[in-house]
Amino acid sequence: MAIVATVLLLRHGRTTANAEGGLAGRRPVELDGIGRAQALAVGARLAGLPLAAVVTSPLARCRQTLDLALPGVDQTVEDGLIECGYGAWEGQPLKTLAKDPLWPVVQQHPSAAVFPGGEAMAEMARRAVGAVRSWDARLTAEHGPEALWLACSHGDVIKAIVADALGLHLDLFQRVVADPASVTAIRYTPTRPFVLRLNDTGGDLAGLVVPKKTRRRRSRAADSDAPVGGGAGSADAGAAQVG
Q: Is residue 1 part of a domain?
A: no
Q: Is residue 130 part of a domain?
A: yes
How far apart are the two ends of the chain, measured CA to CA in Å?
Answer: 27
Residue 222: pLDDT band (50, 70, 90) is low
pTM: 0.88
The answer to whether 178 and 159 are in contact (CB under 8 A) is yes
Q: Is residue 12 part of a domain?
A: yes
Q: Is residue 241 part of a domain?
A: no
Q: What's the domain count of the chain?
A: 1
Task: Output the pLDDT for position 1.
Answer: 39
Cα–Cα distance, 192 to 73 (Å, whole number): 31
Residue 148's domain is classified under what CATH number?
Answer: 3.40.50.1240
Residue 166 has a CB neighbour count (10 Å cut-off) of 17
Q: Is residue 209 part of a domain?
A: yes
Please name the amino acid found at residue 95.
K
- Summarize pLDDT for 46-95 with one digit per residue, the tens: 999 999 999 999 999 999 999 999 999 999 999 999 999 999 999 999 99
Q: Is residue 53 part of a domain?
A: yes
Cα–Cα distance, 131 to 60 (Å, whole number): 19
Per DSSP, what are the bridge partners of residue 187?
6, 194
Domain that holds residue 215: 6-236
Task: Output the pLDDT for position 223.
Answer: 61
Cα–Cα distance, 194 to 189 (Å, whole number): 8
Q: Is residue 25 part of a domain?
A: yes
- Summarize pLDDT for 158-215 with one digit per residue, the tens: 999 999 999 999 999 999 999 999 999 999 988 899 999 999 999 888 888 877 655 5
Task: Output the pLDDT for position 210.
Answer: 77
The burial class, CB within 10 Å (0-12 / 13-18 / 19+), for 215 is: middle
Residue 104: pLDDT band (50, 70, 90) is very high
Residue 45 has a CB neighbour count (10 Å cut-off) of 20
Q: Is residue 95 part of a domain?
A: yes
The answer to whether 46 and 73 are in contact (CB under 8 A) is no
Please name the amino acid found at residue 10.
L
- Nearest-10 crossing angle of helices 60-69, 33-46: 50
Residue 232 has a CB neighbour count (10 Å cut-off) of 11
